[in-house]
Chain A
């Protein structure tokens, strides 16, 4: 079984003192939907595009408010050396679409449901190839000797 390390994406983070506007701009320009909020070396929260909509925009918070006021904490994390089944279990147990990947206490990146789906789709494609070949090109079973 592959580990999370093989699939995890690079993580982008900002400090808790940065503004809600900064978070939105960094997300937009980084092409990510979630940012790690890092205080020194410590992961203190995660802010998602959904957090910005629900906790900032919808509540009328000013764009220059601190981002740690709208982040999610504590963060659902998974160890980089865990296997993918552990990620499935965490996604099942928690209503989240992303997990923060850590090694020890150090944040190292993100993994999303989309990443797992794309990986599964690749596996299914590999599995279906011999079946498809059999359907298209007929059976290639070994002959019984002397038959």
Chain B
């Protein structure tokens, strides 16, 4: 899994009643866009390290060169 700063990660709920959660990638700490990432969670605004598993998908966004 590879991400860039500004990408959005969605963590899918593990059961039917568990909602999806999402976070924004603030820093990429691994080589070549790989984890760990420092992220900000959309629902709480908290910043944590994040290590995506099989329950997570990344939405990439185009990043301008400026």
CB within 8 Å: A-B pair count: 66
B55: Cβ under 8 A from any A Cβ: yes
B36: Cβ under 8 A from any A Cβ: yes
> B31-47 interface mask toward A, CB cutoff 8 Å, 1 = contact, 0 = none?
00001100001011010
B14: Cβ under 8 A from any A Cβ: yes
Contact A25 B46 (CB under 8 A): yes
Interface range on chain A: under 10, 10 to 19, 20 to 34, or 35 or more? 20 to 34
- Residues from chain A with a CB closer than 8 A to the CB of B5 are none
- Residues from chain B with a CB closer than 8 A to the CB of A11 are 49-51, 53
A8: Cβ under 8 A from any B Cβ: yes
B60: Cβ under 8 A from any A Cβ: no
Task: For the complex of A and B, list the 6 residue pairs with the smallest distance between their C-beta atoms, beginning with the closest.
Answer: A13-B49, A11-B51, A10-B53, A29-B44, A109-B53, A8-B53
Q: Can you report 6 A-B residue pairs in the complex whose CB atoms are below 8 A from each other?
A: A5-B54, A29-B41, A29-B43, A31-B18, A35-B48, A109-B51
